């Protein structure tokens, strides 16, 4: 089905069986494909598209569980952003608008829970009075890229309305039926848009762990072709993404071409390297790391990948 959002589908899954308060919180997540008929003038590369994939999750919980669930989400979100190299994250807490559903008591409790979850994680935040949705308060996370541009990405939104509208209920401790609180949450929002943000932030020079190809191995003459293929095979065996460039071109031409393509590591194998079982290593920034044994290089690259290190 073509759908603009994943929320109603997750409520239907929740409604598929009877749930007790002991089952809560119940968490459902999917990389859901959504479509929205955006005006053609609003479309913009990967940043605004008509078909996109959301890292969407919905948490069904009680009012008392809101703070714990939001605090856990913030921890996960911070880890993801740190892995992608975003350390400067702006946080906004949007509170009740004039027109809203739910009692003031419920809103008081919800807003206090969101603020407490932020404080628990030592996050400074801007308060946005009246900017919440009519069905619940929310927290927004905005990333700042290398050029200082702001990109709104992650959200966690409380919803008092949709579970009631779609008949979601759980059996409370006193045997009464109550609608759960629903938390809508996403870390990157749209996968396509986040990929666009990464390309903009790194200007195409992705960190090693994100680069589609992590190393290119080049020969100087045909005599090293078999050795180059063996080096590529060894890199792949160790979980690294490598390709061979065996074209009959001058080595300086190959190096320049792959540098322009922002290949993280450029490995050259000449007669001397082949005889000693080494490779000459350069980075895309033009650093010459000299010749090193293949195993030493593999350990260096794997360490950089595991630490989610920056681009070479």
The residue among 289, 298, 286 whose CA lies nearest residue 241 is: 298
State the residue for tokens 């044994």.
Answer: 293
* Residue 19 a catalytic site member: no
Residue 228 CA to residue 218 CA, distance in Å, equals 7
Count other C-beta atoms under 10 Å from residue 256's C-beta: 12
* Residue 302 a catalytic site member: no
* Residue 10 a catalytic site member: no
* Residue 241 a catalytic site member: no
* Residue 214 a catalytic site member: no
DSSP 8-state symbol, 263 = -
* Residue 83 a catalytic site member: no
Given the residues 36, 149, 247, 285, the one annotated as active site:
36
Given the residues 58, 96, 100, 254, the one annotated as active site:
58
Maximal C-alpha separation, the chain: 81
Count other C-beta atoms under 10 Å from residue 278's C-beta: 21
Q: What is the dihedral of CA 74, 77, 79, 81, to 10 degrees?
A: -130
Contact between 255 and 266 (Cβ < 8 Å): yes
State the residue for tokens 């650093």.
Answer: 287
DSSP 8-state symbol, 133 = B
* Residue 56 a catalytic site member: yes
Per DSSP (E only), the strands in the chain are 19-20, 26-35, 51-61, 89-94, 126-128, 138-144, 150-159, 170-171, 177-178, 181-190, 215-219, 242-245, 265-269, 278-283, 288-293
Contact between 251 and 200 (Cβ < 8 Å): no
State the residue for tokens 């628990």.
Answer: 120
DSSP track, 223-255: GGHHHHHHHHHHHHHTT--EEEE--SS-HHHHH
Given the residues 10, 96, 100, 138, the one annotated as active site:
138
Given the residues 10, 96, 184, 193, the one annotated as active site:
184
Given the residues 56, 65, 224, 254, the one annotated as active site:
56
Which residues are catalytic, by number?
A: 7, 36, 54, 56, 58, 138, 184
């Amino acid at each position: 089905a073509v759908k603009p959002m994943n929320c109603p589908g997750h409520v239907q899954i929740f409604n598929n069986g009877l749930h007790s308060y002991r089952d809560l919180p119940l968490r459902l997540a999917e990389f859901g494909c959504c479509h929205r008929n955006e005006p053609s003038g609003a479309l913009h590369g990967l940043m605004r598209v008509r078909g996109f994939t959301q890292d969407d999750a919905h948490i069904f919980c009680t009012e008392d569980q809101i703070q714990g669930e939001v605090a856990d989400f913030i921890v996960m979100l911070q880890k993801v952003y740190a892995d992608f190299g975003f350390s400067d994250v702006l946080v906004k807490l949007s509170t009740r608008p004039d027109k809203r559903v739910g009692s003031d008591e419920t809103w008081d409790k919800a807003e206090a829970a969101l603020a407490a979850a932020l404080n628990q994680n030592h996050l400074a935040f801007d308060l946005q009075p009246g900017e919440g949705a009519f069905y619940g308060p929310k927290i927004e996370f905005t990333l700042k890229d290398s050029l200082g541009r702001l990109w709104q990405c992650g959200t966690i939104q409380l919803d008092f309305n949709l579970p009631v509208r779609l008949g979601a209920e759980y059996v409370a401790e006193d045997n009464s039926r109550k609608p759960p609180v629903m938390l809508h949450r996403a870390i990157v929002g749209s996968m396509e848009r986040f990929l666009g943000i990464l390309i903009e932030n790194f200007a195409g020079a992705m960190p090693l762990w994100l680069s589609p190809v992590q190393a290119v191995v080049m020969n100087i003459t045909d005599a090293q072709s078999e050795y180059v293929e063996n080096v590529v095979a060894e890199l792949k065996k160790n979980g690294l993404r490598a390709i061979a460039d065996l074209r009959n071109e001058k080595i300086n031409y190959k190096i320049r071409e792959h540098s322009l393509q922002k290949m993280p590591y450029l490995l050259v194998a000449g007669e001397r390297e082949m005889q000693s079982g080494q490779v000459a290593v350069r980075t895309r920034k033009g650093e010459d790391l000299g010749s090193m044994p293949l195993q030493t290089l593999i350990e260096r690259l794997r360490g950089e990948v595991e630490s989610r290190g920056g681009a070479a």
